[in-house]
Every structure is written in structure tokens, then in C-alpha cells.
Amino acid sequence: MHRPVEWVNRCVDDVWYAPAVHRRTKKLAAFAAALVGTFAATRVHGQPEPQHVIPPGQEPLLLEMLRLPATSPCSLRGVEVARARVVASYQCGDDAGVSRIELVHPSDAVDSAPHTTHFALRTPAGAAASHALLAEVAARVRTLESPFRWEAPQDTAPPGVDDGEPLPPDREALGAARFEAYSRGLELFRARRFREAFELYRSMAQQDPHGGVLAMLVATLAASQSRADNARHRADADRHAEDPLRNFIAGVGTQLAGHQLAESLEDKARMYRLALRYLERSRAYAFEPRYEASRAVCLFRLGETQRARESIEQAARGRPQDPDVLYARAEIEHRTEPQRAIADLEQYLATNGTIGADAPNARDGGRRGRARRAIEALRAIVRGDRVSTDELFDPVMHHRARRANLLASPERYAMGVGIVTLAASILSALAAFVGRRRTIVRSA
């Protein structure tokens, strides 16, 4: 891991002890060494990955905890919620400066800092806050913090297995033989043998796509699809543009990939546009409510709200209690009809809890966890609080965390050091060239 730094040090030594090198170049070489040393220290001795993070949806509670009563001499001016900390800004008097207080997990602060059940309070570096303000905020937090919870990093907006929504078999629609096969696939799904379940349901759909078979294809894709799987499905659909099943799999799979795997908002939008193209090729499957739910979500996330509403209402007419349909409609309506969105999410949790109790998403994480957090946020909106809903349903926080931890692996670290080294070497060479030119000019 330290070889790139050692290599830079050797280069700096060569420059430093070369008698013909201009002293300004030596200073630049020393600066380059310090820069790379700082970079290395940040990587090797920097802050570790936080053990506790703030999940989405806690903003209304945090705002309420940090807002002081009207009798207080200080007023809340702003709240910044980061991955593992909260920074609140207060104004105490018209002529006083802004005071800042940082809330972190108790394990991330010294014992002498004021503590509550869920937080430790401290002043950020370079900021100040009086002991009286710290005590007042700590007392306020203690009275309201009980609903708050921290999560482990891997539990925040987890991709994959927590988004698969199983659908119980309909014996009448399937018939005896297909009912048995469908039930066997459901057992595979609940045993987390998703690939086997996918192949079984795909085989069933090739014979007859009705009876909820397509819905289970969506569920198995949501629970198991990787980037490579999605790329393979899209390539297969492109080779068979006339095949509705291949294009259905590619379409819903690409919508799910945009939700679960895309690494930026731009990447998400690209995937949703691509998904619509495949879904358009599989219009023969519009009878399946999850087809319309997938299409509606893509349209909504691309800003086409009216078309999204039309699509999701068509899905609701076909299967009003489908968990996917309820969740998608809540997302589409949450900005204009928060009460209806709350009702849909509550029904989603109740329905999903009944038919998917043994499914991977039955724990309070993934989409079920996001549904609960969305309900909390929407109730706060109904009460009149100002709450951002941008990432309630299609979060990218875990992707941001991944990008923020870009240098987590030795390979990426070495690449970063190499880039800094190359830049420093170029600057050193340029300074040496300028130094030599000045020497030549003076000699002339």
C-alpha cells in the first residue's frame, strides 16, 4: 500500500540532492512530498467508516428535537443532516454570531461531552456554542429523541433483496398444474433461491404469462438482479425486439436497475428512459399490473407526472391490493395528495406483511423501511412542517456514500496517489525548466 509514497520520496530525494536544480524547484518538490504525505495520512490514518449512520426519513424528528421553544433566547436558524452527524445553527440575540452544535452517535464523542440516550453533543471544529445553549439543546433532545434510531451503514437503503414483492398464487386463474408450479417457485423465492425461481417463472411465462406469473418475474428480478444480469437481458431483448417476454424482462429489470444500481441521478434518468423503450416493445403484457406500475414509476421519475398517474390508475384497476402498485401510487401522489399516499403506504405494509411474511423483505429494511420512513415524513408535511421528499422513494444516499469512500481499496488509493504524484512531477519539471531558463538568461 505504501509503495507509491516511497516512490515519490525517492523522486524527491533525487531532485533535492541534484546540485544543478534551482532552489525553487526544491521547495516545490518538498511541497509535493508534503501533499502526497498528507494524502497518504488521510488514507491510512483518516477517519474510519462510521459504524452508525442516520437513515433517510428522520429529518422531521430531528427538526422537532432541535427547534427550541419561543421562551428560549436562542432560535434555530438551520439544520444540516449528514450521513453520521447533524449540525444545528442557532442565533442567540440580534448582535450575537451564529452558534453551531453537532450531534453524533455517543460512541463518536469524548465522555466529557453532553450525552443523551441517542446522541452526544459537541461544537464543530472552528465553531462555538455556550454551555447554556448546549445544556438547553441536550434537554430538548432528551424529551423527544425516543423514536430516533441509528442504523449500520449496510442497512441504509440496501439494494436488491429487500425490494422483491411476492404475489400469492391464484388457484382459479392458474389451474391445478400451474398452481403447483407457481407454489414451488414461491417456495424457492422464500428460500432465497432467486435464480431458480426466476428460471421457473420465465418458463411458465413462455407457456402462459397470465395468473400472476409476470408479477413473480418482477419480484425475482428485484430480489436478485445484478448489473451483468441486466446487461444480458437487454442484449437478449435487442436481439429479439419482437419478443414481448424478453422485452418485459429487460424493461422492468432496467427500471429496477435504475432504482437499485444506478450511481447518480443522471444514471438513473438514463436507465428509466431505456426501460421505457423496452416496455413499449412489450405492450402485449399491459394486462399485468406490474407492467403498468413499472412504466408509471419510470414516467414519474422522468417528470411526466400526468402520464404516470394514468398508468398507475390502470394498474390499480387490475390489481388494487398489489404491493408494487400501492407503493408506486404512493410515490406518484405523495407531493400532491400526501394523505392518499399515507393510506397507500399503510395498506402496502399491511398487505405485504400478510403475503410476504417469509420473504426477504419482511424485515424492517429496504422498501418496507423506506415506506415507514415515508409515512413519518408525510405525516409531518400534513402537520405543516417543511420536509424534503426528494429521496423518500428513490434514494441515492448509498451511492453517494460509495463515491465518498472512493479510496477505500488499496488499488483505488494507489491510483489516487499516482494522480497526485504525476501532477506534482509535472509541476516540478515545469519549475525546473523555468529555473534553468532564468539561469541561462542571467548568464547571457
> Per-residue pLDDT for 251 more than 90?
yes
63 and 135 together in one domain: yes
| Distance spanning both ends of the chain, measured CA to CA | 48
Do you know the residue count of the chain?
444
Surface-to-core class of residue 303, CB atoms within 10 Å of its CB (0-12 exposed, 13-18 middle, 19+ buried): exposed
- Give percent helix, percent strand, percent coil of the chain, each to the nearest 5: 65, 5, 30
Of the two residues 344 and 263, the one the predictor is more confident about is 344
Most confident among 2-6, 170-174, 176-180 (mean pLDDT):
176-180
The parent domain of residue 179 ranges over: 161-382
197 and 280 together in one domain: yes
Segment (H or E) for 92:
strand 85-92
268 neighbors 245 (Cβ within 8 angstroms):
no
C-alpha cell at 76: 434555530
143 and 165 together in one domain: no
- Cα angle 18, 19, 22 (rounded to 5 degrees) comes to 90
266 and 377 together in one domain: yes
Domain boundary among 85, 119, 152: 152
Q: What is the pLDDT of residue 201?
A: 95
The reply to whether 38 falls in a domain is no
Of the two residues 264 and 365, the one the predictor is more confident about is 264
> Per-residue pLDDT for 16 more than 50?
no
Q: Supply the CATH number for residue 217's domain.
A: 1.25.40.10
Q: Which DSSP state fits 103?
A: E
The domain total for the chain is 2
Other Cβ atoms within 10 Å of 188 Cβ, number: 19
Most confident among 43-57, 151-165, 182-196, 301-315 (mean pLDDT):
301-315
The reply to whether 418 falls in a domain is no
295 neighbors 279 (Cβ within 8 angstroms):
yes
**CA separation for the pair 75, 91 (Å, rounded):** 5
Residue the block writes with cell 531532485: 15
**CA separation for the pair 272, 270 (Å, rounded):** 6
> Per-residue pLDDT for 177 more than 70?
yes
Q: What is the pLDDT of residue 307?
A: 95
pLDDT bucket at 386, cuts 50 / 70 / 90: confident
Of the two residues 386 and 240, the one the predictor is more confident about is 240
The reply to whether 16 falls in a domain is no
Q: What is the pLDDT of residue 9?
A: 45
**CA separation for the pair 389, 393 (Å, rounded):** 8
136 and 217 together in one domain: no
Q: Which DSSP state fits 52?
A: -
Spatial CA neighbour of 134 closest among 96, 103, 93, 94: 103
The reply to whether 422 falls in a domain is no
> Per-residue pLDDT for 286 more than 80?
yes
Q: What is the pLDDT of residue 359?
A: 38
The reply to whether 217 falls in a domain is yes
Helices (H), ranges, 22-87: 23-45, 59-66
121 and 138 together in one domain: yes
pLDDT tens across 203-250, in order?
A: 999 999 999 899 899 888 888 888 888 999 999 999 999 999 999 999
The reply to whether 114 falls in a domain is yes
The reply to whether 17 falls in a domain is no
Q: What is the pLDDT of residue 279?
A: 96
The reply to whether 425 falls in a domain is no
Q: What is the pLDDT of residue 3?
A: 42
DSSP states of 264-283 as a string?
Answer: SHHHHHHHHHHHHHHHHHTG
